[in-house]
Amino acid sequence: MHKVAIVGRPNVGKSSLFNRLVGRREAVVADFPGVTRDAKEGVMLYQNHRIVLIDTGGLWSGDEWEEAIRQKAEWAMEGAQCVIFVLDPRDDLSAADYEVAEWLRRLGKPVIVVANKIDNPKHDAYLAELWGLGFGEPLPVSAEHARGLDDLMDRVLDYLPEDDADVPEVAPIRISLIGRPNVGKSSLLNAITGSERVIVSDVPGTTRDSVDVEWDYAGQRFVLVDTAGIRKRPDTSIEEYAMMRSEAAITRSDVILLVLNVTELGDHELKLANLAYDSGKPVIVVVNKWDLVPDEDLKKAEKDLDQKLFHIAFAPRVYTSAINEYGIHDLLAEAMKLYAKWQSRIPTSELNRWLGVWQMRQRVPNFHGKQLKMYFMTQAETAPPTFVIFANRADYVTRSYENFLHNRIREDLQLAGIPVKIVWKEKGPYKKGKKGEADDE
C-alpha cells in the first residue's frame, strides 16, 4: 500500500483536504490552529491505487507542542512516496512556511505544493509567490469546494510505483482505547506498538481526535485506535466533537479497551463500559499504571476494583503498565481470544441440547398455571452472537429468567466476556405475530 503525507503550518486546511480526499470526515476541523496534533491515517482508493493518506499537525506552530508535532510528522514521512505541502497563499508566505519548506528540502522527499482555499480561477494570481519555494508548479485547490482534487491526485500518481496484483488481506482487528482524559491511553498504545506513534503528555486533552494506528502482532493485523479522553461534560466545542468521534470509534471497533487509572475510579467508568457493551462489542478492562500500586497494597487495590466494577464483572480484566510494558502481551492475547469468541458460531444441535439442560436446571416462569415453553434455539448472527429462541409466549419471559439464560450462554457455551443477544419468537397456538428482544446487560 502506498503512503502519502500532508504537511504545512497550522490552519492552512490540511485536515479539510485530508477529509475531502478520503471521502469522509475522519479528522477534526476547526477555524483556529492547533486542533490536529498527532499523525492521523486514512485509506483512500484512487484509480485502483490503495493509498494511506496521513494528516499531520501544524508545523512550526510556536507553541509547546511544536517539537512533538514535528517528530510525529517526520515519522509520518518514513516510507512516504511523496509529500503534499499545503499553503494558504491568500496572505504573504510566513516565516513558518519557509521553515517548513527548508525542512522538507533536508528530508529529500518529493514535494507537491498545494495552494489551498483557491475557490475561484480568478484567485490563481496568488500562486506566483509559491514558485519561489523551489518545488515546481503549485497546484490551486479548494478542499471546501472540491476544486482541483483530480489534478492533485494525478500529480501524486506520478510518484507511485505500479501496484502488484491484488493480494487478499486478512481483515484487521479494530481495537479502540477509551477512557477519561489522562489515564494513559496514548502511552499504552505506544507501549503496545513499541514506538512513539502518538503524542504523550501530562496535560489532559492532549489527544483531540481518534488516531488509527495499523500494526501487526503474531501474524495478526490490528488497527489500534487512540481516542480522545471522554469527559462527563465537554468544556469546549472541540472536546464535544472529539467525544462524538470517540463514540463513533466504539461503533466501528471489534474490541474495546476501557483504560482505567487504578487511583481514579467512579461512575464515569461504568457509563463508558456500558456504552461500549451496549454497542455489542467485547470489553476488556485495562487497569493501567499498576506499577504505581505498592506491593503491600495490591490485594486491597484488587478488592476495591472488584467492588467498584461489580456491575461490569463480566468483562475480563488485565493489569498493565505502559512504563515497563507489564501485561502488554496478556492484553493482546485476551483481545484476540475475545475477538474469536465474538465471531464464533455454535451448532444448532449443541444449542438445543443445552436448552434442555437449562430448563431442567432452573424452573421456567409460570403465569396463572400457564408455563413458558421453549421449543427450539438457533444462532442467527455473530458479532455479537445473537440467539433466537422459539417459545409459546414471549411475554412470559421474566427479567430474572432472561438473566439466567444470559449467564448460562456465557458460561456453558464458553462465551465469557462476550455480549450476547437473545431474540424471542412465538410459535404455536399462542403466537400473536410479534417478537420480543432483549439485549444483554
CB burial of residue 160 (10 Å; 0-12, 13-18, 19+): middle
The confidence score (pLDDT) of residue 37 equals 54
How far apart CA 276 and CA 86 sit, in angstroms, is 37
Sheet with 255-261, edge to edge strand ranges: 211-217, 220-226, 173-178, 255-261, 283-288, 317-319
Question: Is 59 annotated as a binding-site member?
Answer: yes
The confidence score (pLDDT) of residue 69 equals 76
The confidence score (pLDDT) of residue 395 equals 92
| pLDDT tens per residue across all 441 residues of the chain | 788 999 988 888 888 899 889 876 654 444 434 445 567 788 888 887 888 888 887 787 666 667 777 777 887 788 889 999 999 888 788 888 998 899 899 988 999 999 998 887 777 777 888 988 999 999 999 988 888 999 999 999 999 887 654 544 567 899 999 888 878 888 898 888 887 766 544 444 444 456 788 888 877 888 888 887 666 555 555 556 666 767 777 888 999 999 988 777 777 777 777 777 788 889 999 999 899 899 999 999 999 888 888 877 888 999 999 888 899 999 999 999 999 999 999 999 999 999 999 999 999 999 888 899 999 999 999 999 999 999 999 999 999 999 999 999 999 999 998 989 999 999 876 665 444 444 444
How far apart CA 338 and CA 352 sit, in angstroms, is 24
Output DSSP code: residue 31.
Answer: S
Question: Is 369 annotated as a binding-site member?
Answer: no
- On whether the CB atoms of residues 141 and 147 are closer than 8 A, the answer is yes
Question: Is 306 annotated as a binding-site member?
Answer: no
What letters, b where the CB count within 10 A reaches 16 and e where it falls short, cover 225-241? bbbbbbbeebeeebbeb
Question: Is 294 annotated as a binding-site member?
Answer: no
Q: Give alpha helix (H) positions in 368-416.
A: 399-412
Question: Is 384 annotated as a binding-site member?
Answer: no
The confidence score (pLDDT) of residue 438 equals 47
Question: Is 327 annotated as a binding-site member?
Answer: no
**Sequence-distant (≥ 6) Cβ neighbours of residue 67 within 8 angstroms:** none
Lookup result for grid cell 499545503 = 86
- On whether the CB atoms of residues 63 and 37 are closer than 8 A, the answer is no
How far apart CA 146 and CA 123 sit, in angstroms, is 15
The confidence score (pLDDT) of residue 68 equals 76
Question: Is 105 annotated as a binding-site member?
Answer: no
**Sequence-distant (≥ 6) Cβ neighbours of residue 219 within 8 angstroms:** none
Beta-strand relationship, 111-115 and 139-140: parallel
SS3 205: coil
- On whether the CB atoms of residues 341 and 415 are closer than 8 A, the answer is yes
Question: Is 200 annotated as a binding-site member?
Answer: no
Entry pTM: 0.69
| Whole-number CA gyration radius for the chain | 26
Domains of the chain: 2-157 (3.40.50.300), 173-342 (3.40.50.300), 348-439 (3.30.300.20)
Question: Which three cell numbers mark 280?
Answer: 455489542
How far apart CA 271 and CA 304 sit, in angstroms, is 18
How far apart CA 45 and CA 354 sit, in angstroms, is 47
Using CA atoms, how far residue 188 sits from 63, 253, 314, 341, 399, in Å, is: 25, 17, 23, 24, 39
Q: H/E element holding 4?
A: strand 2-7
SS3 401: helix
Beta-strand relationship, 317-319 and 283-288: parallel
Question: Is 290 annotated as a binding-site member?
Answer: yes
Angle at which helices 348-361 and 399-412 cross, to 10°: 130
Question: Is 382 annotated as a binding-site member?
Answer: no
Question: Which three cell numbers mark 77?
Answer: 514521512
Q: Tally Cβ neighbours within 10 Å of residue 64.
A: 9
Question: Is 182 annotated as a binding-site member?
Answer: yes
Question: Is 180 annotated as a binding-site member?
Answer: yes
The confidence score (pLDDT) of residue 273 equals 74
The confidence score (pLDDT) of residue 63 equals 60
